[in-house]
Amino acid sequence: MPKRTYSMRYVAGQPVERIFPGAVAQLGQALPPGEALPNSDTLTVMVWNIFKQQRADWLSVLKGFGKDAQLVLLQEAQTTPELIKFATSNYLAADQVPAFALPQHPSGVMTLAAAHPVYCCPLREREPLLRLSKSALITVYPLLDGRLLMVVNIHAVNFSIGVDVYSKQLDPIGEQIANHAGPVIMAGDFNAWSRPRMHALFGFARTMSLREVRFTDDNRRKAFGKPLDFVFYRGLNVVEASVLVTRASDHNPLLVEFYQDPKILL
């Protein structure tokens, strides 16, 4: 029997909690009330494959740029004491999906948020060739205007023949987005390094009515000439988008500022 997928929730001063997937039917009903993500009309999001914190200065980059973001979406985040301390000192909740266990600490996607999620759905998909898992995490947060923001943090499967498994990983995410009426941010390391993968990803985005964030100075990590990291959105406006050049990981962090007024959608 396959292991049941779950996420681990880290909150300052509280025991670590194991969270199992919420039912997609909950999205069409009234979710439990919660405190809104704090912001002044804008919402800042950082997206970064942190390379299991294997390089120097990863913490200084997070402290310098992540602490002012309301949401930080990390991929390949290892639950080391240093990362957990940063997460629980600067954010109200940090949710991580353990994709696979390393000798000391599990690694997977982790979402740090300045509010507690009112819905959480962790997902995993096994790499067909390496037999290791990649993870995704769907969380929902109240906004100050009363809407609910769905956040999708994904690390897509990398090594596969064809795009069947790649598309299979997107399918349950699509089901979640389709059942959510509010704004959406979907971001992470999509490993879209081939034309068929790009076609599958952008076809998925169009079906979900998601727009791509464009970066003027596009210093995103590339493979075979194609960027690996993306941010997609709906129900929001992009104020500013940039890529931070750093050697603290094998990926460069993406920084996006959204304007959340629903009456001024471009």
Reported as a single tens digit per residue, the pLDDT across 51-61 is: 999 999 999 99
The 10s digit of each residue's pLDDT in 21-74 is 988 888 877 788 899 998 778 999 999 999 999 999 999 999 999 888 999 999
pLDDT, the chain, mean: 90
**Nearest CA-CA partner of 110 in 35, 188, 13:** 188
Residue 66 DSSP class: I
| Stretch 11-18: mean pLDDT | 95
- pLDDT, tens digit (0-9, with 9 covering 90-100), for 189-203: 999 999 999 999 999
For residue 88, pLDDT over 70 is answered with: yes
Instruction: Give the Cβ contact number of residue 195 at 10 Å.
Output: 11
The mean pLDDT value for 131-160 works out to: 88
Q: Which of 81-95, 111-125, 149-163, 237-251 has the lowest mean pLDDT?
A: 149-163
178 pLDDT higher than 70: yes
- Lowest-confidence segment of 1-5, 180-184, 258-262 by average pLDDT: 1-5
What percent of the chain is modeled with pLDDT above 90? 74
Residue 266's pLDDT band (cuts 50, 70, 90) = very low
Q: What is the pLDDT of residues 144-153, one digit of tens each?
A: 999 999 999 9
Residue found under tokens 């990863």: 58
pTM for the model:
0.94
Domains observed in the chain = 40-259 (3.60.10.10)
Measure Cα distances from 119 to 65, 124, 192 in Å.
Answer: 26, 17, 28
Torsions phi, psi of 13, nearest 5?
80, 5
SS (H, E, C) 154-178: EECCCCCCCCHHHHHHHHHHHHHHH
pLDDT value at 102 more than 70: no
pLDDT at 130 over 60: no
Q: What phi and psi values does residue 57 have, to the nearest 5 degrees?
A: 75, 5
CA 252 to chain centre: 15
What pLDDT does 1 receive? 38
